[in-house]
Structure 1
């Protein structure tokens, strides 16, 4: 696997993580 591919995958997973975090925050605020 090339380094650029790894970097792309890492960035992609980071984006997904951010989305999940925002969704979780949104859900929490709804509950509170």
Structure 2
């Protein structure tokens, strides 16, 4: 795999995992924890 593509994918996953709870927290009650 192309190194920059792998980096972009990993960065995207990290950002998604970091921001998803924040976005959901403002719209829906917590269904985890």
TM-score by length of 1: 0.56
**Hey, which of these two has a bigger chunk of helix by percent?**
1
| Structure 1 unaligned blocks of 5 or more | none
Structure scoring higher RCO (CA < 8 A, sep ≥ 6) equals 2
CA RMSD across the alignment: 1.8
Partner of 2:12: 13
Q: Which has the higher Rg, Structure 1 or Structure 2? A: 1
Q: Distance in 2 between matches of 1:10 and 1:26?
A: 24
